[in-house]
Amino acid sequence: MHDSQRYAAMIIDKILGGTNFDVAFENVFTNVKEFQHKSQTKAITFGALRYMGQSKYLIECLVRNKIENRLIESLIHVALFQLSHESHSDFTIVDQAVKAAKKIDLRKGNFVNAVLRNFLRKKDTLTKGFLDQEESHFNYPIWWIQKVKKQYKSDWVDILNIGNDHPPMTIRVNKQQISVKDYKKLLVENDISFTPLINEGLILNNASNVKEIPGFDNGLLFVQDLGAQLASLLLDVKNNQSVLDACAAPGGKLTSILENANVHLTALEKNTYRVSKIIDNLKRLNLEATVIAKPLDNKNEWWNKKQFDRILLDVPCSASGIVRRHIDMKWLRRPNDLEKFANIQLDLLNNAWPLLKQQGKLLYVTCSIFKEENEEVISKFCDNRLDVKREKVKFPKNICHIKNQLVPSKNHDGLYYEILEKK
Ligand SMILES: C[S@@+](CC[C@H](N)C(=O)[O-])C[C@H]1O[C@@H](n2cnc3c(N)ncnc32)[C@H](O)[C@@H]1O
């Protein structure tokens, strides 16, 4: 276990330094030969990140001075999570953590041992203290809690709690390959229990490895949250229209559009590594689009001056609405990131707008619950612009939302949708 604890600590150390989980994980495991540690490392890293509000509080109570070595501090976060939430014996967790500490720095074994044993002695009293502070109670940084509280006066507790839950495993049936009815039959034949949602959406009640879902390799399905599945519906595409997906990778929404209508789709993506994910997904689902590895802003390099009937603009954002799937975001994001994202989002809108035909529609999407990236960006864009009309977004029944904002719920994430029509 000590190697997985140490790898988890290395990943958390990188996240605390500003690297996201996926990159940190790849980074740690490119230099590691023992791949069998991967799933255990992932599980304890996610657990430690999920409960880091608690372990931060415990470290403040247990350690008088700031811990200078962030890798050792990260290891303590991991071990405190395990001692509070995992079923291994206390002795094993502490013993292994001390071994891990010694591998990081021989002199730090005694320190880690002392902190963890001190925690075990005072566990009952200390864990009662979780409720006294919002950061340890909700397991989010305080700025995040305050923002959600201010922006969602009656739903803030539920929103914070949902963000700490395990996400549902939701799939979209590829109607081009199989009917929803037949796919449900296939799941029943394979003894896989599911909950039908709306349209092509189903939740698999027991999450599994995607490769083990029937028909995955043959493109019968795509793993995608229900909230994201709504994009193709709201974009209101008709057969033969020209559609631009201006921020396309990995292609979840674009493939959903192609499954729903026979359109000419151009997919733009500025990150060349992520372009390969679009191509893989199109190939697996047996769908076609013109994929261009260019940024939206460099129009001269890719645009033939023919305006589009529909534009999907699914912009980069804080990911605050999908935090249960990206737990690292809670500790990676900083309050001033929202302003940076808002500037990028407004820029993307300004760049996409001239590419839209008159009477055409642009669907603006974020997976954020924060107004700064949603309503405020849209208001700024629409102010003083005479050729834009905000269309009312009509969500299907049973979708939990406040105006254009999907409120994260058991069945879907917290996305924001805005439909802009060109007058
Ligand atoms: C939220 S993700 C899109 C998710 C995608 N629509 C889906 O449903 O799978 C945003 C994407 O926009 C890309 N991006 C950011 N700035 C861009 C730009 N100026 N031009 C094109 N793509 C950009 C990012 O690399 C990222 O892959």
Alpha-carbon span 122 to 340, nearest angstrom: 43
In whole angstroms, give the CA distance from residue 253 to residue 232. 7
For residue 30, is pLDDT > 90? Answer: no
- Check pLDDT > 70 for residue 186: yes
Q: Which residues on neighbouring strands pair with residue 173, listed in sequence order? A: 221
- Whether the per-residue pLDDT at 31 is higher than 80: the answer is no
- Kindly report, residue by residue over 9-19, the tens digit of the pLDDT: 999 999 999 99
Burial class of residue 239 (count of CB atoms within 10 Å of its CB; 0-12, 13-18, 19+): exposed
Mean pLDDT of 289-310: 96
Is residue 157 helix, strand or coil? Answer: helix
Residue range 117-145: mean pLDDT, rounded? 95
35-79, pLDDT tens digit by residue? Answer: 678 889 999 999 999 999 999 999 999 999 899 999 999 999 999
Judged by DSSP in three states, 266 sits in strand
Pocket lined around ligand 1, Cβ cut-off 6 Å: 228, 246-253, 268-271, 274, 295-297, 314, 316, 348
Position 34 scores a pLDDT of 67
Output the CA 112–ligand 1 centroid distance in Å: 42
Atom from ligand 1 closest to the CA of residue 249: 27
CA atoms of 270 and 273, how far apart (whole Å)? 9
Q: Please give the number of the atom of ligand 1 that sits closest to the Cα of 317.
A: 1
Q: Residue 166 is encoded by which pair of tokens?
A: 């395990």
Q: For residue 207, what pLDDT is reported?
A: 86
Give the ligand 1 atom nearest the CA of 366. 1
Residue with CA nearest ligand 1 atom 20: 295
Q: List the beta bridge partners of residue 416.
A: 366, 405
In whole angstroms, give the CA distance from residue 25 to residue 42.
8
269/247 Cα distance (integer angstroms): 5
Question: What's the 296 CA to ligand 1 centre distance in angstroms?
Answer: 10
For residue 36, what pLDDT is reported? Answer: 72
State the pTM of this model.
0.95
d(CA 61, CA 65): 10
Q: Which domains does the chain have, with CATH numbers?
A: 2-139 (1.10.940.10), 169-223 (3.30.70.1170), 229-422 (3.40.50.150)
Catalytic residue (choose from 247, 317, 367, 400): 367
Q: Please, which residues bridge with residue 202 across strands?
A: 171, 196
Q: What is the pLDDT of residues 322-371, one digit of tens each?
A: 999 999 999 999 999 999 999 999 999 999 999 999 999 999 999 999 99
How many angstroms is it from 189 CA to the middle of ligand 1?
38
Question: Of 32 and 8, which is predicted with more confidence?
Answer: 8
The pLDDT score that the predictor gives to residue 377 is: 98
Mean pLDDT of the chain: 96
Distance (Å, whole) CA 38 – CA 250: 23
- Would you say residue 202 has pLDDT above 70? yes
Segment 222-243 mean pLDDT: 97
Q: How far is ligand 1, taken at its centre, from the CA of residue 93, in Å? A: 41
**Residue 229 confidence (pLDDT):** 98
CA-231 nearest atom, ligand 1: 8
367 is catalytic: yes
Instruction: Return the axis-axis angle of helices 70-85 and 90-104, rounded to nearest 10°.
Output: 170
